[in-house]
Amino acid sequence: MRVAELYKKKRPVISMEFFPFRDDKTAESFNKTIDTLAPLNPDYMSVTFGAGGSTRDGSAQTIDTIMKEKMLPCVAYIAGYGLSPDEICKVLDQYQARGVETIFILRGDKPKETGFVPHPKSFAHASDLISFIQDHYDFNLGCAGYPEGHVEAQSLERDIEYLKLKVDNGAQYVVAQYFYDNAYFFNYERQCRKAGIDVPIIPGIMPVYTLKMTRALSKICGTKIPDVLAQKMDTIDGEDKAAVLDLGINFALDQCRELLEKGISGLHFYTMNRSHSTQKIIRQLKLEYLL
């Protein structure tokens, strides 16, 4: 399944992101999540790749579960930080042997464990890794975009210049970091088009799952929590899980409605390996928009 071609043929494309399961217990939970979401007929699912290759085996096993056991289309992530070109090739060869046709490329973060030493020939930037893969393989390639600017970027304009380089080097579609204010995405898309980036740019949707997680990830990812959402979060008890989930579902639904009405190419859901919110959101959107 070549994702860039999918975006040319269908709109909106519905996709979901998962991280690898770690053991038998999390594998069982993961299976339940996939079985709950599969009836929604997502166009594809994607599996992340841990910093420094820390989850390479788990990522491969999770991809096998999605593709071979569940018979669903899958995109494999790869993060180049710290890995040698030979290690990258070993991972990509495994993906190719599994029938993966689309790779989503990130620079990746430095592993948290102490003592990790990156390979001296590791790829410093996602654009370098994209160029390497483009020269050696026939995968469809995707990359990340940051509507509010990457946390390490000097400015949004400079960050868009880096995105242009990734596209020039071979990225064929972009999935955006999640955001809670659609104005950031619309502004980002306009600036990207002005910069000559003409590939699909897909908004990322992250419902509020818990108040603590939302606030913590906001700081890590540089995603601003707008006043309208912050006020809603402040009015509910964080221990009331049902109320928190309802808030997240309703807020994400409003985001998705506006995005769909603007004609976006797709919606990419960051599931955090959970099913309840994503299922509720997509079911409602299917009723309203006949997706």
In the chain, what are the domains?
3-208+265-274 (3.20.20.220)
* DSSP secondary structure code for residue 11 in this structure: S
Joined together, the tokens standing for residue 129 give 């890794």
pLDDT reported for residue 72: 96
5, 17, 87, 161: which is the annotated catalytic residue? 17
**Omega prior to 12 cis, within 30 of 0:** yes
pTM for the predicted model, two decimal places? 0.96
Kind of pairing between the strands at 74-79 and 140-145? unpaired
pLDDT for position 53: 67
Total Cβ atoms within 10 A of residue 5: 14
Query: Dihedral, CA atoms, 27, 277, 255, 290, nearest 10 degrees?
Result: 100
Whether 87 is a known active-site residue: answer no
What residue type is assigned to position 241 of the chain? K
Reading the chain (291 residues) residue by residue, the pLDDT tens digits are: 899 999 999 889 999 999 998 888 888 999 999 999 999 999 999 999 976 766 778 899 999 999 999 999 999 999 988 899 999 999 999 999 999 999 999 998 877 766 778 889 999 899 999 999 999 999 999 999 999 999 999 999 999 999 999 999 999 999 999 999 999 999 999 999 999 999 999 999 999 999 999 999 999 999 999 999 999 999 999 999 999 999 999 999 999 999 999 999 999 999 999 999 999 999 999 999 988
With H, G, I as helix, E, B as strand and everything else as coil, classify residue 91. helix
Around 37, how many Cα atoms within 13 Å sit in the side-chain half-sphere?
A: 32
Q: Which amino acid is at 104?
A: F
CA atoms in the 13 A half-sphere facing the CB of 167: 22
Which token pair is 65?
């579960």
Q: Which residue type sits at 41?
A: N
Q: How many CB atoms lie within 10 A of CB 255?
A: 23
CA 25 to chain centre: 24
Residue 11: per-residue pLDDT: 87
